[in-house]
Chains A and B, each alone.
Chain A
Amino acid sequence: GAGVSQSPSNKVTEKGKDVELRCDPISGHTALYWYRQSLGQGLEFLIYFQGNSAPDKSGLPSDRFSAERTGGSVSTLTIQRTQQEDSAVYLCASSLWTGEQPQHFGDGTRLSIL
């Protein structure tokens, strides 16, 4: 597709389980961003990638969160030992380069921790 694709669109899991969220950026975009939106809040920056490297991981809430990007394309956000406060919509976006604002975000993964 032409846009940013995220999967799954919805994920319900039990507290304590690990989850993996996937993001397929727009082809050719070197920069990739992860944000999350908790209920009633704005988007919260998590991490961004320039190619396969992550210059800024300052937004990751805890060491239970990690992300990787391979081949300059697909990215995976992993949350280990999920907690109820991890429940949010996780959004991914991409841009040609990090100096350019993300044009379009994916539709997100709605994560619910029971």
Chain B
Amino acid sequence: DQQVKQNSPSLSVQEGRISILNCDYTNSMFDYFLWYKKYPAEGPTFLISISSIKDKNEDGRFTVFLNKSAKHLSLHIVPSQPGDSAVYFCAASAGDTASKLTFGTGTRLQVTL
């Protein structure tokens, strides 16, 4: 039972344009959501998070939107840069603690010149 789903395994975007990565979840107990970025042969690195009490969180070029009624979140990267090319994982936890995260299967973003 995949409780966190990233239905797009890959995405290609031109440099300078917006990248939108999507994530859906099924567990209504999830109340804290995170995005991680992973380069090949490296471990994931935390990127941005959002609590369920918010519907938007912004950090520089990265913005995460949360739609609780739809159980959907998205990561927007504006403008996209070649260094953003990586695999992006969506993750969620319950109880407002990040001690146990449930991850999606990831979306590979390719930013082209």
- B21-78 contacts to A, CB under 8 A, are 34, 36, 41-46, 49
- Residue among B34, B43, B98 making CB contact with A105, cutoff 8 Å: B43
B58 to chain A, nearest CB (A): 17
Q: Contact at B43–A4, with CB atoms within 8 Å? A: yes
The count of residues in chain B whose C-beta lies closer than 8 Å to any C-beta of chain A is: 24
A31 to B101, CA, bound (A): 14
Are A107 and B42 in touch, CB under 8 angstroms? yes
CB–CB B103/A48 < 8 A: no
Q: Which residues of B contact A91 (CB under 8 A)?
A: 43-44
Instruction: Please indicate the chain A residues that have their CB under 8 angstroms from the CB of B44 in the complex.
Output: 43, 91, 104-105
- Chain A residues closer than 8 Å to B102, beta-carbon distance: 42, 45
Interface residue A61 (Cβ < 8 Å from any Cβ of B): no
- Main secondary structure on B side of the interface with A: loop
Chain B positions within 8 Å of A42 at CB level: 4, 6, 89, 102-106
**List of B residues within 8 angstroms of A18 by Cβ:** none
Residues in B neighbouring A20, C-beta threshold 8 A = none
- Chain A residues within 8 Å of B, Cβ to Cβ: 4, 31, 33, 35, 40-45, 48, 50, 55-56, 58-59, 91, 93, 95, 98-108
Q: Can you show 17 pairs from A to B with CB atoms below 8 A apart?
A: A4-B43, A35-B101, A42-B4, A42-B6, A42-B102, A42-B103, A43-B89, A43-B103, A48-B100, A56-B99, A99-B98, A101-B34, A101-B46, A103-B46, A104-B44, A106-B43, A107-B42
List 15 other contacts, CB 8 Å, given A50-B99, A99-B98.
Answer: A4-B43, A31-B99, A33-B99, A43-B91, A43-B101, A43-B103, A91-B43, A93-B43, A98-B99, A99-B96, A99-B99, A101-B34, A101-B98, A104-B45, A108-B43
